[in-house]
Amino acid sequence: MKINQAIKYIFVDYFDTTCFRHIHSSQIYLQWAKVMRAKFPELGIISNDKLVALRHIAHHKNNKLYKEKPYLDTMSDLYDILQERIKLMVDRKIFVESSLNIDVSVEIGCQYGNQKIISMLRKEKAKGKQIFLVSDFYLPMEAYHDFLVNLQCEDLFDKVYVSESFNKTKTHGDLYDYILKENSIKADEVVMIGDSKHSDVRMAREHGLYSIWYFPLRHKLWTNFSRLTKRDFSNYQLKKRFHELFHHSTFAEYAIPLYYFSRKLNEEMKPNMGGAS
């Protein structure tokens, strides 16, 4: 991937470009639902799939008011929907904050950096180019601080723009206009890199930016296979953790039994702690 020397700014997408997930994006919601049901026992009568469906209903409620509905509004609407079906024994604020923390934690557990793109961006940054992360996403911009720390590239980006925080999107193109205006940048000084032909290529070009389509075919095939086979990522994480403990722990022969024991102990204690973990 070659960047023209005349380019002063690189806008880059996050998911499927800078960052990959071990599973398909649609499976993230199911992981969230599993943890929410463990956190709040009264949700146990609702299946994972049903809870995800109710979340989607909440997200689309009054959606004509937004281009990207704020996360806190979505979860507040979900709280109301759930209260109509079951009696939640938790305050609205705690429910919303817990959901956000779970969403961020699940995302971090599934993410890993695309070192090919990250390495390229570092080289371009060393040449004096400014790197902006530009993402259409349902979580608040603050979540990206944790994401980038997890990828060990929090120093890479000069600025971060997320559709949820501005009610503007790449899909509509107005997020590009907003960034250009706020930073007094000329469109022909920018190249946008991303995997979406519509949002990252077509809309970028319509707003005067150069664009590069990045399509990680192997990764796309893998995550779609994960979706079709309904792969349980939590089991994968458990096996991965066992492998890390066995190979990197000072007391490798004891590490796995102790880890397994601590998990079982936590599960046994949850009913007596109101579902807290």
Q: Which amino acid is at 2?
A: K
The residue out of 86, 109, 132 marking a domain boundary is: 109
Residue 246 predicted with pLDDT over 60? no
- DSSP assignments along 156-222, one per residue: T-SEEEEHHHHT--TTTSHHHHHHHHHTT--GGGEEEEES-IIIIIIHHHHTT-EEEE---HHHHHH
Indicate if 159 and 67 belong to the same structural domain. no
Taking each helix axis from N to C end, the angle separating 233-248 and 92-110, rounded to the nearest 10 degrees, works out to 60
Residue 247 predicted with pLDDT over 60? no
Indicate if 204 and 142 belong to the same structural domain. yes
Residue 269 predicted with pLDDT over 70? no
Longest Cα separation, the chain = 63
The residue out of 109, 133, 151 marking a domain boundary is: 109
The residue out of 109, 125, 144 marking a domain boundary is: 109
Range of the domain at 239: 232-273
Indicate if 184 and 118 belong to the same structural domain. yes
Tell me whether residue 3 is in a domain: no
Tell me whether residue 205 is in a domain: yes
Average pLDDT over residues 64-79: 93
Query: What pLDDT shows up at residue 190?
Result: 98
Indicate if 162 and 256 belong to the same structural domain. no
Residue whose token pair is 């601080």 = 145
Q: Looking at the DSSP assignment, which residues form a beta bridge with residue 111?
A: 21
CATH assignment of the domain containing 182: 3.40.50.1000
| Phi-psi label, residue 19: left if phi above 0, alpha if psi -120 to 50, beta otherwise | beta
Indicate if 35 and 61 belong to the same structural domain. yes
Indicate if 253 and 264 belong to the same structural domain. yes
10-35: per-residue pLDDT in tens?
999 999 999 999 888 888 899 999 99
Pairing of strands 190-194, 9-12: parallel
37-55: per-residue pLDDT in tens?
999 999 999 999 999 999 9
Residue 211 predicted with pLDDT over 60? yes
Query: What pLDDT shows up at residue 127?
Result: 95
Number of separate domains in the chain = 3
Alpha-carbon distance 9 to 30, whole Å? 37
Residue 276 predicted with pLDDT over 60? no
Indicate if 76 and 101 belong to the same structural domain. yes
Indicate if 14 and 138 belong to the same structural domain. yes
Residue whose token pair is 């469109």 = 187
Indicate if 56 and 150 belong to the same structural domain. no
Alpha-carbon distance 209 to 207, whole Å? 6
Average pLDDT over residues 244-267: 51
Helix, strand and coil in the chain, % to nearest 5: 60, 10, 30
Spatial neighbors of 267 by CB under 8 A, at least 6 apart, are none
On average, the pLDDT of the chain sits at 86
Q: Please give the structure tokens belonging to residue 172.
A: 């509509």
Residue 121 predicted with pLDDT over 70? yes
Query: What pLDDT shows up at residue 227?
Result: 61
| 83-97, 133-147, 199-213, 226-240: least confident range | 226-240
Tell me whether residue 227 is in a domain: no
Tell me whether residue 4 is in a domain: no
Tell me whether residue 120 is in a domain: yes
Indicate if 149 and 200 belong to the same structural domain. yes
Average pLDDT over residues 183-194: 97
Indicate if 49 and 81 belong to the same structural domain. yes
pLDDT band at 213 (very low <50, low <70, confident <90, very high): very high
Query: How many residues make up the chain in this entry?
Result: 277
Residue 107 predicted with pLDDT over 70? yes
**Would you give the DSSP letter of residue 74?**
H
Residue 192 predicted with pLDDT over 80? yes
Query: What pLDDT shows up at residue 218?
Result: 76
pLDDT band at 9 (very low <50, low <70, confident <90, very high): very high
Beta-carbon count within 10 A of 45 CB: 10
Alpha-carbon distance 65 to 47, whole Å? 30
Tell me whether residue 93 is in a domain: yes
Answer for the pair 146, 108: CB distance below 8 angstroms, yes or no: yes
Spatial neighbors of 115 by CB under 8 A, at least 6 apart, are none
Q: Looking at the DSSP assignment, which residues form a beta bridge with residue 162?
A: 135
pLDDT band at 225 (very low <50, low <70, confident <90, very high): low
Answer for the pair 151, 113: CB distance below 8 angstroms, yes or no: yes
Indicate if 116 and 214 belong to the same structural domain. yes
SS3 (DSSP) at 104: helix
